[in-house]
Amino acid sequence: MSSRSKIPRPTVKRLSLYLRELESRADLEKTTISSKQLGSALGLTDAQVRKDLTYFGQFGHPGIGYEVTELTNRLRQILRADRKWNTAVVGAGKIGRALMAYQRFPRKGFEIVAVFDTAPDVIGQVIAGHRVRPMEDLPTLVAQRDIKIGILTVPHDAAQKVADSLIDAGVLGILNFAPVRLEVGDAVSVTSVDFSVSLEQLAFQVSLGLTGSLDEHECDQEGGG
């Protein structure tokens, strides 16, 4: 197996997509899948699927392909999704509340065990079964509840301070929903989710399909009179 640090990030991202597709196949009671079927479901080639999996060893059986249950379990092990990750949400606003109620988190092994906020009118509320705690409680609860991952859903101007607090408390990974780049060095791993960037990228892709019709419309207007 290759060193994890040498594995391309796009490959790791595709592993999550493979796992999601395999879980969907399992729900349909499918027992086997080929690299071609797995790739086609995700818009990839079978060669790409085999190349990605080769980083982690030998998979599949001649004439059969991959056994869905076996490959699912292996990918969960590789992605460390076969264990429970205690998680804290910082920011009990709209995004934070939606994440607290998201039922797939526990199924994926991410258990929200603490929620924090700074707003006096929010602290003490029980939201989706979680009592919102003040930030002053963060260091103690991170240690007591063995919290390894923090989900950050605070305004951009508070994000860095909150990230620093999570790091100081011992959190090892941050999922950042704040529209700002966090300066964390090598202290923790950070994955950012920026809705505005995603929407801009989507708008660009959609505009590619509209360009031809828009250009034709403009030409018709210029040629009229």
Considering the chain, what is the average pLDDT of its residues?
88
The predicted pLDDT at position 165 comes to 96
- What domains are there in the chain, each with its CATH number? 4-78 (1.10.10.10), 85-193 (3.40.50.720)
Tell me, what's the pLDDT at 225? 44
> Which parts of the chain sit beneath pLDDT 50?
1-2, 214, 217, 219, 225
Q: In whole angstroms, what is the distance from residue 114 CA to residue 202 CA?
A: 34
User: CA 53 to CA 45: how far, in whole Å?
Assistant: 13
Cα separation values, 211 from 199, 202, 218, 219, Å: 18, 14, 10, 12
Quick one: pLDDT at residue 168?
A: 96
Q: CA-to-CA distance for 118 and 172, rounded, in angstroms?
A: 22
Task: For residue 74, count other CB atoms closer than 10 A to its CB.
Answer: 20
Q: How many Å separate Cα 221 from the centre of its chain?
A: 46
pLDDT at 104 (0 to 100) = 84
The number of helix segments (H) and strand segments (E) in the chain equals: 9, 9
pLDDT the model gives residue 209: 72
- CA–CA dist 39, 145 (Å, integer): 40
Sequence-distant (6+) residues with CB within 8 A of 203 are none
Task: Tell how strand 85-90 and strand 110-117 pair up.
Answer: parallel
The confidence score (pLDDT) of residue 9 equals 85
133-174 pLDDT tens trace: 999 999 999 999 999 999 999 999 999 999 999 999 999 999
